[in-house]
A and B are shown apart, each in its own frame.
Chain A
Amino acid sequence: MAVPKMKSQTWKKVWPYAAAVGTLLLIWQVAAFFLPPYLLPGVPTVLERLAAGITEPEFLTSLKESLFRLIIGYPSACLLGGLLGLLAGLSRGFAVYLRSLIAILQSIPPITWIPFLIILFGFGNVPIITVIIIASFFPMALSVMNATEGINRTHLEVAKVLGATKGQLLRKVYLPETLPSFITGAQVAFGNAWRSLIASEMVGGASSGLGFSIKFAGEVAQMTDVLLYIVIIGMIAAFFDHVVLEWLKRRVLKWRYIEGAK
């Protein structure tokens, strides 16, 4: 009896996602009925292309290049942002400094740095990774800074009474208490990192990667490939955000998801 109940509960969680994806595919397919295939190929055509395309070396290189940049840039940004946020939470002066710095950086779209960085470092990974870091460190820093500033005073005092040193306060109270904000910050930062990665590749930061590939497909008017890359770029982001980061969240914040048994 328990099995069907489990199934219906999973379904309850899944159906809004399924409906959202379905709506988009439906709009696409309906539009495809009215347009010639070279302007807008239908869903089945692109899905077929997807099945064949994901084994092509060209595509795999493209994917590998993008993921490499992401895997270097995004964690560095998280680490940097987390560290700066923690420091700012502990020192009021540094908090004001960091907020001003972020306010300035936020008013400049990250992609604007590309020409500057290309002149400085040349084409390739360095300008793109730098843009990822600029774009994604500050949601992390802000989130962690706010959490550190708003830390529960009693939690700190309990530790002091129990004999905690400064370092122990940091490790045993500040860190676990701000952990939920690390995760929230990391989720927002991921969106920024992904967007700026693809955009940087498109505007010419490098001659490889998913962003470069979609731009190339557009230049040669290969609509099927353009749509294929849109689908892939979306799918990878959704996978990271809803599967990898969500899994991490539930693992690290186990105590938040525990059922009450009062």
Chain B
Amino acid sequence: MQTLEIQRVHKSFGSLKVLENINLTIEKGKFAAIVGPSGCGKSTLLRMVAGLETPDEGTVQADGKVIKQPSPERMMIFQEHALYPWLTVGENVEMGLELAGVSKEERRKRAQEVLKTVGLDGFYNYYPSQLSGGMRQRVSIARALVMDPDVLLLDEPYGALDAMTRLTMQNELLKLWEGSGKTMLLITHDIDEALYLADQIFVMSARPGKVVQTIDLDLPRPRSRHSQRFGELRQEIMQLLGLEE
């Protein structure tokens, strides 16, 4: 399993400063979340951990090694499900294994197992266009899980889903993570989502993106969204983001 370390990271796109002096550490096996308004560079930060972007200054490390390119150890789940429409559910899930040269029977076996854990048993031969938004996002989670990564990077995975599906998916995500030992890093602009899921929340402000507060959560799971502590923390984050006086 991997510990993620981001040290003194700066990043600009042209003259636009996106990230300024970001420092954060996520211990292995922890569920961390980054909350912030759109444009605060949180997606850019996540893409650096995935190896899709490089910082202008500073380092992004996984277990002491500098991240230079994507690795099957760190799987990313994208905002839009980003499934390949020309592949079936099963073929989408098997894509990473196929690229790695895993045999057909082995691929199929592992894909079937993972589809079962995300509750999509029997959808192997469907095309993504035949599924609902929530089911598609489950497939994309299965596609990441089948690689058995140490780190799961989630880029606003439930942003496009309706409120009810979102709550169901959050519970499912917790079940997948608990006891797996995987390090999770979730990007979201949904404060409640972060509070419900994470051990540790980094609150970011925008233009340029900075971490303004790190909150360690001591709430036991399953958490109630209506508990007093939950409400206090929600208020604290909203104040930090300037959404509430």
Q: Which A residues fall within an 8 A CB radius of B?
A: 152, 154-155, 157-165, 168, 172-173, 176-177, 179, 253, 255-256, 258-262
Contacts and interface: CB of A to CB of B under 8 A. Distances in A.
Contacts of A253: 86
Nearest to A180: B86
A110 B92 CA distance: 44
Contacts of A164: 99
A176 B147 contact: no
B129 interface: yes
A86 B75 CA distance: 29
Given A154-B80, A157-B52, A255 B86 contact: yes
A17 B147 CA distance: 51
B45 to A, nearest CB: 15
Contact of B96 (A163, A165, A256, A258): A163
Interface in B87-111: 87, 95-96, 98-100
Contact of A161 (B75, B87, B126): B75
B72 A262 contact: no
Contact of B82 (A155, A163, A165, A177): A155
B78 interface: yes
A163 B130 contact: no
Given A260-B130, A262-B131, A162 B52 contact: no
Which 9 A-B pairs have CB atoms at the shortest separation, nearest pair first?
A162-B96, A154-B82, A261-B130, A161-B70, A176-B86, A255-B86, A262-B132, A161-B76, A255-B127
A179 B86 contact: yes
A258 B126 CA distance: 9
22 contacts: A155-B84, A157-B52, A158-B78, A159-B95, A160-B52, A160-B70, A161-B50, A162-B70, A162-B147, A163-B71, A163-B96, A163-B100, A165-B99, A168-B99, A172-B95, A176-B87, A179-B86, A253-B86, A255-B87, A258-B129, A261-B130, A262-B131
Given A157-B52, A255-B86, A163 B131 contact: no
Contacts of A160: 52, 70
B70 A163 contact: yes
A64 B70 CA distance: 55
B181 interface: no
Contacts, number: 70
Nearest to A157: B52
B150 to A, nearest CB: 14
A89 B80 CA distance: 24
A177 B83 CA distance: 12
Given A154-B78, A157-B52, A262-B131, A162 B72 contact: yes
Given A162-B96, A176-B84, A258 B78 contact: no
B85 interface: yes
A162 B76 CA distance: 9
B99 A159 contact: yes
A253 B131 CA distance: 18
B52 A255 contact: no
Contacts of B131: 262
By CB atoms of chain B within 10 A, which of A154, A163, A176, A258 has the most?
A163
B72 A163 contact: yes
Contacts of B82: 152, 154-155, 157-158
Given A157-B78, A161-B52, A255 B95 contact: no
Contacts of A179: 86
A255 B85 contact: yes
Contacts of A176: 84, 86-87
A164 B95 CA distance: 9
Nearest to A252: B86
B157 to A, nearest CB: 13
Nearest to A176: B86
B68 to A, nearest CB: 13
Contacts of A162: 70, 72, 75, 95-96, 99, 143, 147
Nearest to B52: A157
Contacts of A155: 82, 84
A204 B112 CA distance: 63
B25 to A, nearest CB: 22
A234 to B, nearest CB: 34
B99 A172 contact: yes
